Structure 1
């Protein structure tokens, strides 16, 4: 079958359909968009029906809906569960968008819109790949199930419940996910590891009111000073996290693993220049790709308190706040990490201050052996379409539900991403390179047929 000709003829129609989906502001984090998220779920469900999928269901949850669909007419053949999400990130700051985030625009071979690459565009490709096979061949080479959620951008709070309640319905031989990226244009990659995550908010309090720095300065504790001192205690001067026991469960990088990282031939100097930095920074003894792919972190995401308006206000603030996230690897347990950080913060708090800590997100790291045959077939599929075999990489980000899917369903997760690292996911001017939309469709078809 000539799939290249098929997709070429359907390209305009496919992009028009994808643009319809991208126009729906399905921002899961904002309650005012609850109806829009539901509208996007219904749109996905209708697209699955039109593609020839059966048993299409829109499952309500305590939050946003989960969509299920199937096509199970290949007895004796593997069953593939396609996972993805139709919710998107907020669009702030709006003034930095060159075109409105929910008015899709194609410029220089790139489709601009919120959700274009994360993850509506990539999910849509799987729907159209399955539709193409059914239209061309009247049957699928494998059994297919879809599980598409609307809460990935808010850490999938309701999907684990759905998985537990529907294990038999979702049972599969592999979970196929496109929510990651190629290494660079023309250089495909298969992610074999995702870092876990935990987060917390810290508030430090001193007096019961803000105080005049002339009348009280030097004689009372300052909440900002106390917080800054506390946050500085979290790292040593070599970039390592100074929390006792933080590295428990972190695997050492073997020569083989470091060799795989080296194959990426990552240009640290180019990154430094692109970011306008005088130097990169991180844990001593590791390269940039090793730090972001296989080492744990503790990062400050926000620090605030005191007077922040124009000009000067000589005040001693009564409170100060910080937001902290950690990326976790190996066997690090997120709850254990949060408890250790909380203990460290209490132990290092400046005299005269009190502290309040709120633990928030928790997700374990995911890892899969690249020698897994299903991953090797995926690398072969990339090679057939891109002319270059995919490298096996580790991603510094977190997709918390991947570990849950793989563990609950006892199925390997195959992450075949078609985005690019510079497509501004979560940022203004998010876009999807249409070269990878075209090649991605062919690669998915090739992979499904190879199974």
Structure 2
């Protein structure tokens, strides 16, 4: 039997909220940092699947109040603070409990459903593409729904038709064989050389200067312009929250333009460990977010051309010794990885079905529709390899601090996610045979 009595479902959900949260607390306590594959495997065995989170930072917040301090009626107003709570253990928990509650009520999904829990998404999903190539029949489907990412700031249901691609890379410049005293030596300083190189790559406002960086970019359609204009974005409020000025074309730059970002710099020492030395090495970690129609391998080639145009020899290996005649004159490229952007039209019949089901799950509230999101998920595996329409329906709250200190999942979003998954599994009927 399919789900028709949503009042009964909501009552069942309300009666189980504390147990659901207690289970999620146990879930997030399991270490599943992607960079520590053995611990991800342990978590996967516990879940009968796998999942991933980003490594925590030293400045993570301390413990909050225990769950037992709150009454059941208060749970919807709370948030669970834990690494991985929003990205992406909370949404996974919503899926599993939607099925559990439907089963408890003797109700079945109207569609066949396959779950994929990707334990390597935070390290760019190196196994997902090959797995999809090898198991096309197993993964065949009419539509894929991804629930990564945050909802709109006002808590409205949010649906995105795409995701940007991304390339990550580290650049290393080495000079002397070791750090030397800044008073007793006059030696090439790789930090200055790296500073000059970075200044040639983008303006101080972050506008990329690499030649042909936006080659192949396709601008928004008239319909996509309308979607962007309809977005309920309070830019002044966002500026106040962040404490910085943001560009007037903020939305379009996130969705339809590639970006070049310095993620981190490392050279010498600062703070209490600062010393009067000339460092022998300088490193920068970069990410490049790309939009649909760009190929990350082609953009990578443009990056290498730029490095050479600045007079550097490019070494695409992190292991071979650096010849003395290249010290301070070469850029070593290490840890290169990436994948392309992906996109599905929100005007497809199946897209419209998903939008309608999500809105019904939220009591008829109109969804915020995004042509694409600014973040990156391996959506391309489903759209490009498996040729399946794919949409993003994020469950986590906006500004959930994912990848940073004090990541959190608001529990009302957790519970709403359960309702949304159940609604999707009830309302989406398989299309008739051709």
TM-score range, shorter chain: 0.7 to 0.9
Matched, 1:443 2:410: no
325-334 vs 304-313, which moves further: 304-313
Please name the residue that 1:369 is paired with: 345
Please name the residue that 1:92 is paired with: 57
**In structure 1, the residue corresponding to 2:114 is in which secondary structure?**
strand
Distance 2:29 2:182 in 1: 52
Please name the residue that 1:151 is paired with: 120
Q: What pairs with 1:258-407 in structure 2 (closer than 5 Å)?
A: 258-277=225-244, 279-280=245-246, 287-308=249-270, 310=272, 313-349=275-311, 353-386=329-362, 387-393=364-370, 394-399=372-377, 401-407=378-384
Closer, same or farther: CA 183–311 of 1 in aligned 2, 3 Å: closer
Distance 2:78 2:420 in 1: 19
Closer, same or farther: CA 440–314 of 1 in aligned 2, 3 Å: closer
Structure with the greater relative contact order (CA < 8 A, sep ≥ 6): 1 or 2?
Answer: 2
**What's the CA shift for 1:189?**
0.8
Matched, 1:37 2:13: no
The counterpart of 2:153, out of the listed 157, 181, 184, is: 184
| Contact in 2 for aligned 1:210/1:318 (Cα 8 Å) | yes
The counterpart of 1:419, out of the listed 396, 400, 410, is: 396
Distance 1:383 1:299 in 2: 35
Closer, same or farther: CA 396–103 of 1 in aligned 2, 3 Å: farther
Q: What pairs with 1:427-438 in structure 2 (closer than 5 Å)?
A: 427-438=404-415
Distance 1:15 1:312 in 2: 45
Please name the residue that 1:70 is paired with: none
Taking only aligned residues, the RMSD between alpha carbons, in angstroms, comes to 2.6
Matched, 1:196 2:165: yes
**In structure 2, the residue corresponding to 1:22 is in which secondary structure?**
helix
Matched, 1:224 2:200: no
131-140 vs 159-168, which moves further: 131-140
**What's the CA shift for 1:341?**
0.6
**What's the CA shift for 1:28?**
2.0
CA deviations 1:94-125 (Å, max 9, x no partner) are: x4323289999988511222221111110121
| Contact in 2 for aligned 1:338/1:359 (Cα 8 Å) | no
**What's the CA shift for 1:212?**
4.1
TM-score by length of 2: 0.85
**What's the CA shift for 1:134?**
2.8
**In structure 2, the residue corresponding to 1:168 is in which secondary structure?**
coil
**What's the CA shift for 1:271?**
1.5
| Contact in 1 for aligned 2:28/2:83 (Cα 8 Å) | yes
**In structure 1, the residue corresponding to 2:105 is in which secondary structure?**
helix
| Contact in 1 for aligned 2:150/2:400 (Cα 8 Å) | no
| Contact in 2 for aligned 1:134/1:140 (Cα 8 Å) | no
Q: Point out where structure 2 has 5 or more consecutive residues left out of the alignment.
A: 313-325, 429-434
**In structure 1, the residue corresponding to 2:62 is in which secondary structure?**
coil
| Contact in 2 for aligned 1:346/1:355 (Cα 8 Å) | no
**In structure 2, the residue corresponding to 1:358 is in which secondary structure?**
strand
CA deviations 1:125-171 (Å, max 9, x no partner) are: 11221222233234331112222232112211112222222211121
**What's the CA shift for 1:4?**
0.9
Q: What pairs with 1:154-173 in structure 2 (closer than 5 Å)?
A: 154-173=123-142
CA deviations 1:376-398 (Å, max 9, x no partner) are: 12221232232312121121111
Please name the residue that 1:253 is paired with: 220
Closer, same or farther: CA 102–318 of 1 in aligned 2, 3 Å: farther
Closer, same or farther: CA 390–210 of 1 in aligned 2, 3 Å: same
**What's the CA shift for 1:349?**
3.7
| Contact in 1 for aligned 2:219/2:256 (Cα 8 Å) | no
Closer, same or farther: CA 326–139 of 1 in aligned 2, 3 Å: same
Closer, same or farther: CA 16–312 of 1 in aligned 2, 3 Å: closer
TM-score by length of 1: 0.82
Closer, same or farther: CA 174–317 of 1 in aligned 2, 3 Å: same
Distance 1:247 1:310 in 2: 42
